[in-house]
Chain A
Amino acid sequence: MFFAWPVVALVLRGFVADGAVDLGGFADVLSRPRTWRLVGLTLAQAGLGTVFSVLLGLPLAYVLYRRSFPGRGLVRGLVTVPFVLPTVVVGVAFRTLFVDDGLLGFLQLEETLAAIVVALVFFNVSVVTRTVGGLWERLDPRAEQAAAALGAGPWRVLRTVTLPSLGPAIASAASVVFLFCATAFGVVLVLGGVRYGTVETEIWVRTTQFLDLRSAAVLSVLQLLVITGALVASARARARQEAALALVGDRAPAAPLSWRSPGDVAAVLAAALVVGGLILVPLAGLVLRSFRGPGGGWGLENYVALGTTGGRNALVVTVWEAAGNSLRTAALATALALVVGGLVALVVSRRPRAATARRAVTLLDGLFMLPLGVSAVTVGFGFFITLDQPLGLPVDLRTSGLLVPIAQAVVAVPLVVRTVLPVLRAVDPRLREVAGVLGSSPGRVLRTVDLPLAARSLGLATGFAFAVSLGEFGATSFLARPDAATLPVVIFRLIGRPGPENYGMALAASVVLAVLTATVMMLAERLRGDRAGGEL
């Protein structure tokens, strides 16, 4: 309800004007050259981001999942970090690199498409690496060995056997990455400046700056269409992947890296470039700059300033208060997402006997994946226009403070489902039957069989949900009241204000947020252990 209703209301707002169906809004918005420029930009940056993420992610997947070397676990962990980093933090990190006096200022990339694409690749390389690597690791190596025995050289084996087997995983990863790039919000808003934007940022601008709800609604509908297409392509790729692969049950043993093999050397160089250049440099740059005070000296000034409301009272609350808000909201959102996501995963994991019920389960599965694709901004915007009188009740949810956690939970639910569902699906139904025959009522079966078996994945899902809620910016930026702002909102506001104090504070706050998120994810990753907990 909290997802579907706002979105439907939003779509209706695009079609209906003054109680009558009116497509004038569409004609109006679609005839603006600015709209088409934005659509083009969105597609271009998403396309470029996807291509580079895949190209850079593949060697990394090979090195991290098919070869072993000392410190592999650490590098794998490092590669995961960008995925859960709040978009605002990443935006700030890259901006710090590219500003005139920044580490890479000489590249003149400030407020360019290239800067946006680099930041998008930073985020999504880990998605490609994890998705493809997870499959690569379990790919039966005997097919490659058979090809080699038939006289194929390493390059030919890669081209004729390995890549075609990985094809579905690559396609699936690429479609997800495309989705994330096309709906990127925080990064684009921070890095794009006034010149570059996407449909997503335009919705936000239309709503918050010009109060042009109608255009925003039309753009949201446009966005939905693009995303549905990408989701369908992704689902197709995933179905093919499940259907046609020879996988070994356990991961194949990884061979140690060999410096004699030219392929290995090339892959290591590429991987080192990605990890070092793309992931470490921006993070290190961010941390470094956060210790440089507004006066140019080094020290903790920026961190001390976190207890204030910023230069010229840029904020309503201090940054520490915002951090408290963030933690409280994220805790609430996580609880909501776990309850809803856990229940959905439980229902979807069952294989009912009746055909209609089976179809309903499949539909439910797809329905709860939608928020993964529908942009957070759309969710926030939808909430914004519908929840002034939810279901006709005279309760304005917008002022109740519950709205932000609910919106964040909507964004986090698909992650919970995707993490818990594969584990529940892997439980042999006969295990439940045995428990039933031994005298357990259905409730007791749930408590004594399903719950203990899914416990680890629930822990991991908690971490994911918490990290995502902490960093959530798109929906929160619509809904958070100034006196209850969260960390990402505060950071964004600080960059937007003039003054080196505020900029320094933004950097320090970004580091704080990144540390919070990374800590949560590290705790959660421990729960994952040796067994992959899910698809993400």
Chain B
Amino acid sequence: MRAPGAEDGLEVRDVVVRYRASRARDRAARDTVAVDGVSLHVAPGEIVALLGPSGCGKSSLLRAVAGLEPLAAGEVRFDGQDLAGVPVHRRRFGLMFQDGQLFPHRDVTRNVAYGLEASGTAGSERGARVAELLDAVGLAGYGSRAVTTLSGGERQRVALARALAPRPRLLLLDEPLSALDRGLRERLASELREVLTATGTTAVFVTHDHDEAFVVADRVAVMDRGRLLQVAPPEELWRAPASRRVAEFLGFQAFVPAAALPPGVLPDAGRPSRADLSPETVVAVGPAGLRLLPDIGEPLRAVEQGPLWQASVVGTAFRRGRAEVTVDVDLGSGPVRVVAVEEPALYDGVAADPAGRRRRPAVGEKVTIVLDPSGCALLPALR
């Protein structure tokens, strides 16, 4: 065995994937470039999420790595070996689709065993491996069930067990949880990470849901229009998005010139000190970067150093136990529509009505909102 080195794992270099225009008439409109010169390294045992809006080319990149789409340019290497010319079935990768794609004519056991049969694993060893994997995905005892009788979540677990059974060198997951309902999706996302880390599986995981990406992956690669915008661990991505586009995709809702804010409120992200900020530096306001102040006549001490704005209420909603108020406000870069979150801690000592309810601001009412620096990030420059 070779010693592990920088060449190990998956190496994607300048890969281009192109779809040919289907009809001669469209040919003039040029072929569609789905993946436009992407380079990415995935170390052994690492889980990387490809995150991006639908149609950004992330699935095409995954299919190109699997060998299901031809490369128009660039190369895909694994453990130093160029995979050009290695057909799909000889790559020893695993693949899992959004809707599982279980074989309808085989029961659970025979679905999981499919890859083992292909590699010629002996029967007894096969049975043991199938049982081991069904156990790992929490479906012990389901072996003889017909796949048509399984629920959506169970199907995806079987699909995961089937993909892992032949011990793939690399597991590719194409939106594996997107077809499930929210609660199940969140639960399965953490289970997925447990199973992948427990088996030491190297994996590339495609999703359009950032929460899912952050739960499952060691590093997240943000992709847009065929290009990689940023590759970073989740915390770093959140703390310091590389560009306005990345920040927008992560859900940052407003962008305020740093110069418009008073000193001392800027998020401390190991970024240059205020003196070093260029005039173009921008503060990105995160989804929880604005707080709603209770209407008690005077600013509270806890946030009194932050800048305050008067905003006009457009609507309110109650999500995850907190009121979220949509307001129109000018943060210093023109009027924008943003969401401010009610902070329960700020309401200590504020009178509630006899039933314990607080009054919700009505549409059209004026409210005060304040910036919460911990929910914001600094962008190096306006892009």
Residues of A within 8 A of B (CB): 353-355, 358, 428, 430-431, 433-442, 444, 448-449, 452-453
At the interface, yes or no: B166 with Cβ under 8 Å from chain A? yes
Residues of A within 8 A of B166 (CB): 438-439
A435 to B104, CA, bound (A): 13
- Known pairs A437-B66, A437-B88, A437-B91; list 8 more (Cβ under 8 Å): A355-B24, A428-B101, A430-B97, A436-B87, A438-B166, A439-B166, A452-B105, A453-B104
**Among candidates A355, A431, A433, A441, residue contacting B20 with C-beta atoms closer than 8 Å:** A355
Whether A431 lies near B68 (C-beta < 8 A) is: no
Interface string of B128-167 (1 = CB under 8 A from A): 0000000000000000000000000000000000110010
B residues less than 8 Å from A354 (CB atoms): 20
Chain B 96-127: CB-based contact to A (< 8 A → 1; otherwise 0):
01000101110000000011011100000000
Is the C-beta of B185 less than 8 angstroms from some C-beta in chain A?
no
Q: Is the CB of B68 within 8 A of A433?
A: yes
Q: Which parts of B71-92 form the interface with A (CB within 8 Å)?
A: 87-92
A514 and B89 CA atoms in complex are apart in Å by 50
Are the C-beta atoms of A434 and B89 separated by less than 8 Å? no
Does the CB pair B22–A439 fall under 8 Å? no
On chain A, the residues within 8 Å of B172 by CB distance are 437
Are A444 and B118 in contact, CB atoms less than 8 angstroms apart?
Answer: yes
Q: Scoring B residues 252 to 273 as 1 if CB is less than 8 Å from chain A, else 0, what string do you get?
A: 0000000000000000000000
Known: A449-B103, A452-B105. A437 touches B93 (CB 8 A): yes
Please list 25 pairs of residues, one from A and one from B, whose beta carbons are closer than 8 Å in the complex, sorted by A's number: A354-B20, A430-B97, A433-B66, A433-B101, A434-B101, A435-B103, A436-B89, A437-B66, A437-B68, A437-B91, A437-B93, A437-B172, A438-B94, A438-B114, A438-B115, A438-B162, A438-B163, A439-B89, A439-B90, A439-B115, A439-B166, A440-B118, A442-B89, A444-B89, A452-B105
Task: Give the residues in chain A near B383, CB-CB below 8 Å.
Answer: none
Q: Smallest CB–CB gap between B300 and chain A, Å?
A: 55
Mostly helix, strand, loop or mixed at chain A's interface? helix
CA distance A525 to B163 in the complex (A): 37
Among all A-B residue pairs, the 5 with the closest Cβ atoms: A438-B115, A439-B118, A437-B95, A436-B88, A452-B105
Number of B residues near A (Cβ < 8 Å) is 31
* Contact between A448 and B114, CB atoms less than 8 A apart: yes
Q: Does B2 contact A (CB under 8 A)?
A: no
CA distance A438 to B120 in the complex (A): 12
Q: How far is the CB of B151 from chain A (nearest CB, A)?
A: 19
The yes or no answer to B23 lying at the interface (CB within 8 A) is: yes
Q: Which residue of A lies closest to B23 (CB)?
A: A355
Contact between A434 and B95, CB atoms less than 8 A apart: yes
Q: Which of B355-379 contact A (CB under 8 A)?
A: none
A355 CB, min distance to chain B CBs, angstroms: 6
Q: Is the CB of B88 within 8 A of A433?
A: yes
Shortest distance between the CB of B152 and any CB in chain A (Å):
16
- B interface residues (Cβ-Cβ under 8 A, vs A): 20, 22-24, 66-68, 70, 87-95, 97, 101, 103-105, 114-115, 117-119, 162-163, 166, 172
Contacts of A448 in B (CB 8 A): 103, 114, 117
* Chain B residue contacts of A358, Cβ below 8 A: 22
B70: chain A residues within 8 A (beta carbon): 353
Measured CB to CB, the nearest residue on chain A to B98 is: A430
Q: Are B118 and A355 in contact (CB under 8 A)?
A: no
Among B88, B95, B119, the one with the most A-chain Cβ atoms within 10 Å of its Cβ is B88
* Residue of A433, A438, A453 with highest tally of chain B CB at under 10 A: A438
Q: How far is the CA of A129 from the CA of B117 in the complex (A)?
A: 45
Q: Are B89 and A431 interface neighbours, CB within 8 A?
A: no
CB distance from B91 to the nearest CB of A (A): 7
Q: Find chain A residues with CB under 8 A from B162 CB.
A: 438
Q: How far is the CA of A431 from the CA of B111 in the complex (A)?
A: 12
Partner of B105, one of A430, A439, A444, A453: A453
Q: Nearest A residue to B117 by beta-carbon distance?
A: A448
Q: Say how far B144's CB is from chain A's closest CB, in angstroms.
A: 18
Q: Separation in Å of the B135 CB from the closest CB of chain A?
A: 20
Q: Which residues of A contact B118 (CB under 8 A)?
A: 435, 438-440, 444
Contacts of B66 in A (CB 8 A): 433, 437
**Residues of chain B with a CB closer than 8 A to A439's CB:** 89-90, 92, 115, 118-119, 166
Q: How far is the CA of A375 from the CA of B172 in the complex (A)?
A: 53
- Chain B residue at smallest Cβ distance from A444: B118
Partner of B101, one of A355, A430, A441, A453: A430
Closest-by-CB residue of B relative to A431 is B101
Residues of A within 8 A of B163 (CB): 438
The residue in chain A whose Cβ has the minimal distance to the Cβ of B114 is: A438
User: When the two chains form their complex, are residues B20 and A353 in contact, meaning their CB atoms are under 8 A apart?
Assistant: yes
Contact of A435 among B20, B24, B67, B114 (CB under 8 A): B114
Nearest neighbor of A442 in chain B, beta-carbon distance: B89
Measured CA separation A444–B117 after assembly (Å): 11
Bound complex: CA of A441 vs CA of B66, how far in Å?
Answer: 14
Contact of A355 (CB < 8 Å), options: B22, B91, B105: B22
- Taking CB atoms, residues of chain B closer than 8 Å to A436 are 68, 87-89
A306 to chain B, nearest CB (A): 44
How far apart are the CA atoms of A182 and B20 in the complex, in Å?
A: 43
Distance in Å: Cβ of B27 to nearest Cβ of chain A: 9
A12–B144 Cα distance when bound, in Å, is 62
Chain B proximity of A250: nearest CB distance (Å):
13
Known: A428-B101, A438-B162, A448-B114. A433 touches B95 (CB 8 A): yes
Judge whether A440 and B89 touch: CB under 8 Å.
Answer: yes
A238 to B115, CA, bound (A): 40
